[in-house]
Structure 1
Amino acid sequence: MTQATSRLIFVLSAVVSLGPLSIDLYLPAMPSMVTVFGTSVDRVQLTLSSYLLGFAFFHLVCGPLSDRYGRKPILLAGLSVYVLMSVLCALSDTIEELIIFRFFQAMGACCAPTLGRAVVRDVFPPEQAVKALAYVSSLMALAPVAAPSIGGLLLLYGDWSLMFWALALCGVFVMGLVIFCVPESLPEKQSLHPKQITQNYLTLLKSADYMGNVLTAACMYAGIFAFLSGASFVLITFMEVKTEHFGFYFVCIVVGYISGNLFTARIGYRWQSRKVFRLGISISCGASFLMVVFCLMQWFSVLFVVVPVAFVAMAVGIVMPNATAEALRPFAHMAATASALMGFIQMEAAAASGLLVGMYLQGSPLPMALVIFGTGCCAVLCYWLILPSGSRKDNV
């Protein structure tokens, strides 16, 4: 790997990190926001769900725009929106205002992972894309490690709004990286005619190979998000973990995710890709099933929640780079559109899992555990029922 390639991977990792950073940084503040805004848990959860909805829907717009006008201009436009909305989030006086501004903040943030994946597909040949995506994901995972800890520390010196000021500064920093370090990589311009855009999306939706990879990855991602949406209430409120210590438990989760990414990057090119895929799905189902058993036995311990989720995160780290590379492989001519639809489906699945956890999470981690296990089972079904049998055969 050349120095220029390593630098590009580092910069793209910083770009795509805005997404998880915008979710994880303010997680420690969510319980206190219930009191500050004089509202309920489910209303505070809506600040997360609205972010996911905005993140999901604007994928469908920024992908075709990028396939027409280029990766860099659309990425910079999205980051500008992100910075502005982060400031407005920090200035919100009511929970309703925060919910609305979070939606538009996500519209700007979603350009980062969508176009980051597209740049990887543009720049790297197919056989190297899996490794590149795995390295990007590994570096990106440092954001969830640091974000909750930083969020907990910020709460010692200010209130929840301080976190959104920090996100605005991060957005400005990433804009600088994009301006000076990210090349324009659009291979060929696509039409913005509604008929052509519709045809492109229909082509993707009709591809069993594409949809099998995307839906399997979306279910796996939804499992991790079920934990993220309920973690602060389970660990801080139910298990009485101190706010400033909350972030440390995320280290185990992210170590699991990074381990899965590095396994894919180091071993994936020697193993047959579908063998790696099946390994990840099996780990996810097994670990989440154990967490359900622990909850049913009423063995309520931080370790009995965090350790199984760490293995689920490892499974996601194994599956996601493979699924992304395989899904985008046949669609180099519209990589941003394919990446956008993938991101849209992932975010919709994540929003659904977060909504389920928010609706039923009352006094026990069991609802969260059941949702995580359910998403793992759905991933198995998508892999075996949707992905064509030829694509499930081991291949290099």
Structure 2
Amino acid sequence: MSALGVDLAAIVLAAGSGSRMRSGLRKPLHPLAGAPMLAHVVDALGACRPDRIVVVLGPDDEIVAKEMQTRTAHLPLEVTEQPAPRGTGDAAACGLAALGDPAGDPEAGELLIVPGDAPLLRPATLRELVAHHLASGAACTLLTARVEAPSGYGRVVRGPEGSVRGIVEQADASPDELAIDEICTSVYVVRRSFCGPALRRIRPDNAAGEFYLTDIVQVLARMGHRVDSFTLSDATEAQGVNDQAQLAAARAEVRRRVIDGWLREGVSVVDPHTTHIDVTVRLAAGVVLRPGTILEGHTVVGADAVIGPYTRLVDCAVGAGAVVEMSQGTDAEVGPDERVGPFASLGPATAP
């Protein structure tokens, strides 16, 4: 049973080729603050505690599957394959086919569907979305956002009374529809008993010749089912990652969030703009990070230690009250109240 008291399964759509990244690294594995992009998405689902999480990958994504299964052993995660790139609607159908209900009812509960390239989604947002969906009694609830520059996103089309009628992709939109500033984030909660029938009614009648998951909204509305929406208060969460520029922007936002979190915990960051902290780093209250500090991996820093300026530590342990300045270290240990640097290079056997 999920955190919201209902049967809840999640499908993560991560089968895209990522050709616009122009990188030899598989798109879901591009790192942000020390964790793969896909891991950020899967971790955000944790607030809802879904009973099962199915990640839909492409046919050549074995390395992605192995990485995610290693990193997310604490979650009920499994992977399945979309054999051919036939669109997000087909990918969702592949995920749905991989799900089974332990109680014997294959259509019980709700489905939370999220894209694998949206690393800025907050756990609290997904939980609030599911809670809103359950309270509304809708067949489907989509997460939307209002943005000043909606180019590239599907637009939310509403009826005269304000109800959601459908989503139109940019390539298929009319000039009036292109002027709409409310976008679909590709995040949905769907009553499971309605999802399969709706997906089977989707047709590839669009400019790309693909099965669009966005069409499920219009299908359900035409079937007479209620479609609701939940609008983001912070549109930044809607930003997807399709190229290196968008990845850089997402990395900057994740870095800002990580630093803000540590500031609230009593860590002093002298210059947040030149400081980098991986999500796996652990800091005690009273730590001071001077400009140019980079902390990566499973680095741990004790209370009142001072790191920097211009110091990079990877998988290091720094004791309380220690000072490490203008140095670099990997797998090193610095004892309490010890002073290291400037210009030190630390390894497993080189710490004082």
Question: TM-score by structure 1 length?
Answer: 0.24
Relative to its length, the structure with more helix (as a share) is 1
Greater relative contact order: 1 or 2 (C-alpha under 8 angstroms, separation 6 or more)?
1
Relative to its length, the structure with more strand (as a share) is 2
